[in-house]
Amino acid sequence: KNEVEQSPQNLTAQEGEFITINCSYSVGISALHWLQQHPGGGIVSLFMLSSGKKKHGRLIATINIQEKHSSLHITASHPRDSAVYICAVQIQGAQKLVFGQGTRLTINP
Amino acid sequence: EPEVTQTPSHQVTQMGQEVILRCVPISNHLYFYWYRQILGQKVEFLVSFYNNEISEKSEIFDDQFSVERPDGSNFTLKIRSTKLEDSAMYFCASSATHGGVRFFGPGTRLTVL
């Protein structure tokens, strides 16, 4: 069983739609990261959170530690948001990140 | 804006050859990492490095792999005798604090023939 599971694996939506990507994990963590991977392969860190909610522009990330679940929301989605979104957890007491398989998001104009 | 750089962007090598992948982390960062991503698969942790020594490594990081910070700026990953299954994108990352936000480099695509 994977320690980090994301859903959906693929998501296609129309421009302007509200997007939600989910991440569930089964291990004790000290933090959870949301990353964005562009078609060229580069990885950008979007959020690191250990509790509650964070917001940056049109992106919102939430985490529920008790339920071992996090969500990434994108409001007013735009074609430039098309990318792979990756959830990664930092194992408690370690520096290791364990990655989910990613969610491929495509926003059509 | 400071960024992590990696060279080369693409390396092609023959099986059994040694390769060195280079990274320049962000200058005031203290924690350094290597990850790899085999095509179509998820990103995997290889190793973390702090204070001139390995602080953690995965089961992938066997005796064929080594890391080094040869000077004040570079951070290298050496694969001693490459195998076909080492073909992957290798990402270097750095963070300012223990477990802090990772800043990733653009990656080196390694192709082993």
Q: Has residue A40 got a pLDDT over 90?
A: no
* Banded model confidence at residue B12, pLDDT cuts 50, 70, 90: very high
Across the interface, which of A30, A90, A96 has its CB nearest the CB of B58? A96
Provide the pLDDT confidence category of residue B40 given band limits of 50, 70 and 90: very high
Mean pLDDT over A53-80 rounds to 97
Res. B30: pLDDT tops 70: yes
Q: What is the mean pLDDT of residues B32-55?
A: 95
From CA A40, how far away is CA B102, in angstroms rounded?
A: 19
Using the Cβ of B55 and the Cβ atoms of chain A, whether some distance falls under 8 Å is answered with yes
DSSP assignments along chain B, one per residue? ----EEE-SEEEE-TT--EEEEEE--TT--EEEEEEE-TTS-EEEEEEEETTEEEEE-TT--TTEEEE--SSS-EEEEESS--GGG-EEEEEEEESSTT---EE---EEEEE-
CB contact under 8 Å between B104 and A31, yes or no, is: no
Partner-chain contact A41 B42, CB within 8 Å: no
Say whether pLDDT at A2 is over 80: no
Determine the distance from the C-alpha atom of residue B29 to the mean position of all C-alpha atoms in its chain, rounded to a whole number. 15
Q: pLDDT at residue B15 above 90?
A: yes
Query: Cβ contact (<8 Å) for B106 and A98?
Result: no
Q: How far is CA B28 from the centre of its chain?
A: 18
Whether B100 sits inside 8 A of A41 (CB atoms) is no
Residue B1: which residues within 8 A CB-CB, separation 6 or more?
Answer: none
Mind telling me how many Å the CA of A67 is from chain B's nearest CA? 22
Q: Give the per-residue pLDDT at A50.
A: 94
Q: What is the pLDDT of residue B72?
A: 79
Which member of A45, A94, A101 has the closest CB to residue B42?
Answer: A101
Tell me how far apart the alpha carbons of residues B64 and B17 are, in angstroms, rounded to a whole number. Answer: 11
Q: What is the predicted pLDDT for the residue at A46?
A: 97
Residue A94: band (very low, low, confident or very high) from pLDDT cuts 50, 70, 90: confident
pLDDT above 70 as % of chain A: 99
Overall average pLDDT of the A62-83 stretch: 97
Looking at residue A1, its pLDDT comes to: 64
Q: Which residue has the tokens 């080094």?
A: B68
